[in-house]
Amino acid sequence: MKKATKSDFIKFLKDLSDSYEVIAPQKIADEGIDLSPVTDFNKITFDYVNTERSFKRFIFPQSQELFKFENNKIVAEKIKPKKQVIVGIRNCDINNFKVLDYNFIEKDPVDSLYKDARDNTIFIVGACIKNNSTCFCKTFKINPLGVESGDLSYLFDDESKEFYIKANTEKGTELIKKLKCKAASDFDEKVKKYETNHDNIPDLIEDKDLVEIFSGQLDGDKWETIFQGCVNCGICTFYCPTCYCFDIEEEGKFWKGRRVRNWDSCMFSIYSKETTGHNPRPTNRERYRNRVLHKFYYQLKHNDSYGCVGCGRCISNCPTNIDIRKIIKTFI
C-alpha cells in the first residue's frame, strides 16, 4: 500500500494524459457528478458517492459504428479503440465485469469491439467513504471500501486529502511507478474510520439460494402486481452497469450507409417481438418478470453471478419509483 498527496495524484493523471484519454468524475451542469473525458484537471472531483452513470459506456458505447458501406463494399471498418484511463469507478460498478465478460468474451464468439476497448483501458477504482440511501452492494457481498479491484485502487481520505493506493494487476504495477508516493502503514486505521459509515447498507439476500427460491416462483400471483407503474421507458436498463442488450441496424440508403449497434432494452415493448408479429412478452408483466429473473435467477444459474451489483441507479432514476429492492424482498 502506498500513499500520495492529492496534488501528486492529480499530476499523475495529468502525466498519463500524454498517452491516454483520462476519464474522471466531474461536475457536469444539471447532471450532477459524472464520468467524463478530462480537459481541465482542476475540475476532477473526489467528493461524490457514485457517478450518475457507470463506466459501462466507455467500453460498450450506447451507439457504436461497426462499419460504413458503399455500393456493396465495406469502405471503412471500425475505428481502433483509443487508450483510456477511467478513474473513480466504484466497487459495485467494477463488479459488472462478472456479467459483461461472461457475455462478451468468455464464450465464443468473442466480441472484439468490447475486448479491444477493455484491453485498451486502465481501470482505477475508488473505495466509497460514504453511500446513498439506495445503495445495496452488500447484498452481493461487495465491499464498498475494498481496494482489490481494477488495475489500481485507492481510498481517498477526505480529512488528510491523501490517496491510499494499491496496484492489483501487472498494468497497475507498471503504472504506479510513475506516481510520486511513499509507503503507507496506517491504511487499516483509515478503513476502520470509514467502516461504520456503511453499517446502514442492507444485505437483502443474506445466504439465501435465489436459484432455489425463484425456481419455485417462475410464475404465479406475485408477478401480477410488481410491475405496476412501469411505463417501459427503459431507463433502468440504460443506467444499469450490468445490462448489455443491443440491436444492430443499418442507417442510410441501401447503396450507401453504415451499420451501427445501439443499446436495446428488454423493457421496450417491441424488444422481443418476432417478425411474424408474435410477441412472447406482450405485457409489462412478462417484460418485468424477465428483467427480474435475468438478474436474480438465469444469470445466477448459468454464470454463477448475480445480474445486479446494488448500485441503486435503477431505483433513483425510475420515473415511477419502482424499487428493485422491494421486488427482491417480495420473493425471498
Residue with cell 464464450: 107
List the x/- string, 234-273, binding to ligand SF4 by CB under 6 A. xxx--xxxx------------------------x------
Number of neighbours of residue 269 by Cβ within 10 angstroms: 13
Q: Minimum Å distance from CB 118 to ligand SF4?
A: 19
Judged by CB under 6 A, the residue of 4, 100, 152, 314 near ligand SF4 is 314
Q: Which is nearer to ligand SF4, 1 or 327 (CB)?
A: 327
Interhelix angle for 112-119 vs 97-104, to 10°?
Answer: 130
Question: Where on the phi/psi map is residue 11: left (φ > 0), alpha (ψ -120 to 50), or beta?
Answer: alpha
243, 237 Cβ separation under 8 angstroms? yes
Judged by CB under 6 A, the residue of 201, 226, 311, 328 near ligand SF4 is 311
Q: What is the DSSP string of 156-188?
A: EETTTTEEEEEE-SHHHHHHHTTS--EE-S-HH
Q: Minimum Å distance from CB 131 to ligand SF4?
A: 13
Number of neighbours of residue 89 by Cβ within 10 angstroms: 25
Q: Minimum Å distance from CB 51 to ligand SF4?
A: 12
Q: Which is nearer to ligand SF4, 35 or 324 (CB)?
A: 324
Q: Which of residues 139-178 bind ligand SF4 (CB under 6 A)?
A: none
Residue with cell 440504460: 238
Could you give phi then psi for residue 268, rounded to 5 degrees?
A: -75, 140
312 binds ligand SF4 (CB under 6 A): yes
Calculate ∠ Cα 156-159-160, nearest 5°: 75
Q: Which is nearer to ligand SF4, 69 or 214 (CB)?
A: 214
308 binds ligand SF4 (CB under 6 A): yes
94 binds ligand SF4 (CB under 6 A): no
Q: Which of residues 283-302 bind ligand SF4 (CB under 6 A)?
A: 295
Q: Which is nearer to ligand SF4, 129 or 137 (CB)?
A: 137
Helix (H, G, I), strand (E, B) or coil at 195: helix
DSSP 297: I
Binding site for ligand SF4 (CB under 6 A): 230-236, 239-242, 267, 295, 308-314, 318-320, 322, 324
